[in-house]
Structure 1
Amino acid sequence: MFEVLVFVYENYWRGDACPELEQLGRKLSAAGFNVEDIQQALSWLDELNLASHKTELIDISQSAREHHTESAHSMRVYSVAEQDHLGAACLGFINFLESADVLSPHMREIVMDRAMAIPGHPMDLDDLKIIVLMVYWSIGLEPDALVLDELCDDADRVAH
């Protein structure tokens, strides 16, 4: 499935440039991906779109209120299931991105949601990097060059 996601990212630079899922499915089939991988990826992308849309609504509603900022002392506590599923390397990478201020709390929660939707554990760090990249993609943000380099350090997977 991750090869399909990489193909989508490389061919549709922004989520809003991506065709509807049915048309995308036909294009992925024509590109030679197997049906099971396409179905998994389309379902995953649909859920990503829903999660991204919810985040946009949260951001809009928070902007309408007085400026609400997270306390500098707040901390995300990961459940045992999340710890088991992601493993130390992936959780450490998420923490690294947050501490570098390149992954907002809302984006982190989308990453967590989409990572938890992937079967098997512990999750491979390269797969998590694709998920982070797809979260950026889905909300129409291009990570800065250093973040993009960190996310795409496996030359065989993403060519940006």
Structure 2
Amino acid sequence: MFDILMYLFENYIHSEAEVMVDHDILTDELTRAGFHQDEIYKALAWLEKLAALQDTDSYPYFSREASRSFRIYTEDESQILDQECRGFLMFLEQVNVLDFTTREMVIDRVMELDTKYFTIDDLKWVVLMVLFNVPGKESAYSQMEDLIFDEQEGPLH
């Protein structure tokens, strides 16, 4: 499913191509590209849920106190998001790429991926997808793009 999300992000969203494509046409194109139909439906549902997160008050408890809080990960979250991924999320908050809400959106979307193997590179792409879909986060998206495409040698700090 993650491969499909990457394909869609690179070919439609990131390239600024027409995003409002008919689901049937998109499903046919993805099938021709070699993806399985059940994975296509899962990926499209994942994207729909991402879009729905910005339309609801999914995280109503945001406050100044929440921005200074410490995130405790559940056991399931820790299974998918290893120490390196969790540290990277904390780093992104410290440099103001993510805030409380976008961090929770990223974690929500990661947990909905149907994968056993999740890397920090996968996390970076999920962060990009989330930031792209949240109005007003253009600067954070640009920062994240710089972090991905202009990677420096050695540690970030």
| 1:52 CA drift (Å) | 2.6
Q: Tell me which residue corresponds to 1:8.
A: 8
Taking structure 1 as the reference length, the TM-score comes to: 0.72
Structure 2: gaps (5+ residues): 152-157
Q: Tell me which residue corresponds to 2:81.
A: 86
| Range 97-106 or range 22-31, more displaced | 22-31
Name the CA distance, whole Å, in 2 between partners of 1:49 and 1:94.
21
Structure 1: gaps (5+ residues): 63-67, 155-160
Where has structure 1 moved over 4 Å in runs of 4 or more?
Answer: none
| 1:152 CA drift (Å) | 4.5
Of 91, 95, 105, which aligns to 1:100? Answer: 95
| Range 100-109 or range 14-23, more displaced | 14-23
Give yes or no for contact 2:85–2:123 (8 Å, CA) kept in 1. Answer: yes
Name the CA distance, whole Å, in 2 between partners of 1:97 and 1:2.
22
| 1:117 CA drift (Å) | 1.3
Identity of aligned residues (%): 31
- Report 1 or 2 for greater relative contact order, CA contacts < 8 Å, sequence distance ≥ 6: 1
Describe the superposition over 1:92-114 as per-residue Cα deviations: whole angstroms up to 9, x where unpaired.
Answer: 11111111101111111111111
Name the CA distance, whole Å, in 1 between partners of 2:109 and 2:17.
16
Give yes or no for contact 2:97–2:144 (8 Å, CA) kept in 1. Answer: yes
Q: Tell me which residue corresponds to 2:64.
A: 70
| 1:37 CA drift (Å) | 3.0
Q: Tell me which residue corresponds to 2:31.
A: 29
Paired residues, what number? 145
Name the amino acid aligned to 1:70.
Answer: R
Q: Give SS of 2:82's match.
A: helix
Name the amino acid aligned to 1:26.
Answer: D
Q: Give SS of 1:94's match.
A: helix
Taking structure 2 as the reference length, the TM-score comes to: 0.73
**Equivalences for 1:10-159 in 2 at 5 Å?**
10=10, 11-13=12-14, 17-54=19-56, 57=57, 69-71=63-65, 73-121=68-116, 123-140=118-135, 141-142=137-138, 143-144=141-142, 146-152=143-149
